[in-house]
Structure 1
């Protein structure tokens, strides 16, 4: 980094200002333990004031003759959440009138840096090397377009698994990790778990910044409502299709999976049951902390959508009021002109002809035939109706179809739709084919060649079906 960039960070970044603050040890120790170590989210002011009061009492009791912290706890919190500081976020949640405080990404970064200064008795390296190698393998395997190479890699992994199975059958103790290797992997897992919570707070802050910018655009917009809505909806779509948005959504779907939650619970129980490891008991419920942090991030995204809905409702109300004003203005003008139009209003036209209507041009009277009306209807007979059709609704997820295309088609590559369906057979009939044609994403382009046709076979409700359609090509940008 350049000198100017570092100097700007020193003066403006809240994390750097926090390290230079007068009461930096107090705010880092208390806020770091309350929000980071205990994994708490936004908390009411009363809870935070009580906890800080206890902390100040303990610190002042160590030196009763010369207490260091004389101000009330609420004053410290207000200073830390001020605009000049930016160490805490101070806000009113929806539906409550009590002030809440939440940690900022700057607090997470400053506390993590201070923690990194401590001397560690054990520094694991072997597990991190294996993790780095495994990530490289996943990248290489996930970007290899040659199926033969991918099959060779899968065959190699299959041989390793079979060899490991044979070793365990011969020696049940083969492949067990010693306590040093377990401690190495536990240290890496604990660090990754804390980093995930910190990353969630930063992602939430990024989404909140987008929400603020959307509110500013709405408050200062003077043009057409449709143009603003298009801009805001496009911005929301851009977030969902960005790398950060897709990664977050994939993590959220995986975390909320019942199988993933059950597996995490079993694995964390096994981890905390190793007595020689001395694992932190809070690790046992770390996946609940991930879920809460992810839900807070999703709540921020939902607030952006709610802001769009409020804007639409407010604009409709204003437009309806404008229509009523125009109607009242027309009524007032009509009442003014009721006694006779003013002399300068109206047009004079010369009559160019006279309409002549002869009596014999009128039609003679014709008698209508009498109509018979039978109001007695035969009783309706009971019919057997199959109500199971109501539960057989088909919902096609466009995000799932797009994920299939991204997994098969490399960047700047192309593929035919029938080849994609050969790898992923149609599950929801013609609706799924239409879903492929309707995909609209920044990195996926679906085009149809009307000059050529293809026939796609699939099963729908247990019956073989065939769809004749133009040749469709999928291209990754």
Structure 2
């Protein structure tokens, strides 16, 4: 980098500005522990201020001469100022309380400070193996010659055959303690870097969403051109390298088989006594799911902007039609008394004849008789079976099904849930899933995709056989907070 570029970064970049701040230790320690280590996204201002108040109380040991005399909310407002850029301050949809979340610039400063700490063990072997493995995947994954690919596949098969033969003979090669610690250190560092990368991906998606909002607010062309531009932008996000990589990662997390495999591996690694355990690594896959869902929610906001724009345009067009109708009525009232001199006079095609005696004569209505004594109705045999044939969907059972399959702070598709708990009460049970309102459960519908749910309608008592049905719904995602 050139001198001018570095000088501009020193003056303008929020991360560099944070490292030069007088309260940098307070900012890095509190925000890093609360947001980064706690894997929190947007959090209400009251909750953040309460946690900061506790931290300031511990730091201000001398009440007569406090190190940090300002109120917690004053510190948060200073850190979220536009010229500072360490916190993002905003109002989320359907909320009237200010929320805060850290920016990617803060995480870069925090990661640099953490890298300054002296490490008792610096592993290099695992990173070398990772580099070689990635280079091998690039070379062989881009090979178009079938013969060369077959040679590589046969070589890998021979290596597996030799390992199988050695294992059958009782010769098992194990990693030594150094190799285990080396690889564990790299896994922990990569897992934390992924969470930091998710915040940057979310910030990039939020920037694209902001551009779409600005374009809608300032657009003065036709609606079709704007929709084509916005839909193209949405397609560019999905088709970009960042979008495709993020979608592949998100699909991996939503796969139940992959989640089970990852949970098993993390559990077995956490049971090893050869390494100093990182407590956050045990549930890192849940943190990934929550961070990925926040980024996915930001992408869905662009689709919501399109829908809101269409609704606003329909309202404006309807209002334009009403304005035209009122203008025509006003003009007609203006010229009614003084019609214009120009025009055509059209003779009546005929004369309307009205005969007075064609009207019917007055016909007196007969007096009505009111019978106050109603004769009793004989008892009838009523079919009360319909009262007991009503279908009741137990939403508590549906919520328990979701909690059984979905861990806390993770998501799953409704189609995956009904594979383990088949639908027994038809369309009423599907509607029961969509209408869940528990505090720890959230049901989201994505109109950009669809879900097909197969279920069986049970037969009636009169001998009607059960029937297979298929429901077509938008993509339904169930999130457990």
TM-score (norm 1): 0.72
In the TM superposition, residue 84 of structure 1 has moved relative to its aligned partner by 1.1
Alpha-carbon displacement from aligned partner over 1:69-104 (angstroms, at most 9, x marks no partner): 001111101100111111001111122222111110
Aligned residue in 2 for 1:429: none
In the TM superposition, residue 205 of structure 1 has moved relative to its aligned partner by 0.3
The reply on whether 1:5 has 2:2 as its aligned counterpart is no
Alpha-carbon displacement from aligned partner over 1:200-228 (angstroms, at most 9, x marks no partner): 10010001111111111111111211111
In the TM superposition, residue 119 of structure 1 has moved relative to its aligned partner by 1.0
The reply on whether 1:300 has 2:379 as its aligned counterpart is no
Rounded to whole Å, the distance in 2 between the matches of 1:346 and 1:141 is: 84
Q: How does 1:255-274 map to 2 (within 5 A)?
A: 255-274=253-272
Q: How does 1:296-375 map to 2 (within 5 A)?
A: 296-339=294-337, 341-343=339-341, 345-346=342-343
In the TM superposition, residue 54 of structure 1 has moved relative to its aligned partner by 1.3
Aligned residue in 2 for 1:128: 127
Give yes or no for contact 2:180–2:274 (8 Å, CA) kept in 1. no
In the TM superposition, residue 292 of structure 1 has moved relative to its aligned partner by 0.3
Give yes or no for contact 2:80–2:86 (8 Å, CA) kept in 1. yes
RMSD: 2.4
In the TM superposition, residue 105 of structure 1 has moved relative to its aligned partner by 0.2
In the TM superposition, residue 47 of structure 1 has moved relative to its aligned partner by 1.6
Rounded to whole Å, the distance in 2 between the matches of 1:64 and 1:44 is: 28
In the TM superposition, residue 67 of structure 1 has moved relative to its aligned partner by 2.1
Q: How does 1:236-255 map to 2 (within 5 A)?
A: 236-255=234-253
In the TM superposition, residue 170 of structure 1 has moved relative to its aligned partner by 2.1
Rounded to whole Å, the distance in 1 between the matches of 2:231 and 2:203 is: 20
Aligned residues: 361
Rounded to whole Å, the distance in 1 between the matches of 2:282 and 2:9 is: 37
Aligned residue in 2 for 1:55: 55
Alpha-carbon displacement from aligned partner over 1:227-270 (angstroms, at most 9, x marks no partner): 11111111111111111111110110011100010011100100
In the TM superposition, residue 199 of structure 1 has moved relative to its aligned partner by 0.6
Q: How does 1:222-241 map to 2 (within 5 A)?
A: 222-241=220-239
Aligned residue in 1 for 2:46: 46
Q: Secondary structure at the match of 1:391?
A: strand
In the TM superposition, residue 275 of structure 1 has moved relative to its aligned partner by 2.1
Q: How does 1:371-386 map to 2 (within 5 A)?
A: none
Q: How does 1:412-431 map to 2 (within 5 A)?
A: none
In the TM superposition, residue 171 of structure 1 has moved relative to its aligned partner by 2.6
In the TM superposition, residue 175 of structure 1 has moved relative to its aligned partner by 1.7
Q: Structure 2: which 5+ residue stretches go unaligned?
A: 347-461, 475-481
Rounded to whole Å, the distance in 2 between the matches of 1:347 and 1:198 is: 79
Rounded to whole Å, the distance in 2 between the matches of 1:120 and 1:41 is: 29
Give yes or no for contact 2:227–2:306 (8 Å, CA) kept in 1. yes
Rounded to whole Å, the distance in 2 between the matches of 1:294 and 1:219 is: 29
Q: Secondary structure at the match of 2:336?
A: coil
TM-score (norm 2): 0.71
Q: How does 1:18-417 map to 2 (within 5 A)?
A: 18-61=18-61, 63=62, 66-171=65-170, 174-339=172-337, 341-343=339-341, 345-346=342-343, 387-388=467-468, 390-391=469-470
In the TM superposition, residue 348 of structure 1 has moved relative to its aligned partner by 9.2
Alpha-carbon displacement from aligned partner over 1:281-309 (angstroms, at most 9, x marks no partner): 22110000000000000100111111111
Aligned residue in 2 for 1:404: none
Structure 2 CA distance for partners of 1:169 and 1:12, relative to 1, 3 Å = same
Rounded to whole Å, the distance in 1 between the matches of 2:183 and 2:63 is: 45
Rounded to whole Å, the distance in 2 between the matches of 1:239 and 1:143 is: 24
In the TM superposition, residue 35 of structure 1 has moved relative to its aligned partner by 1.4
Q: Structure 1: which 5+ residue stretches go unaligned?
A: 350-381, 396-477
Rounded to whole Å, the distance in 2 between the matches of 1:41 and 1:337 is: 65
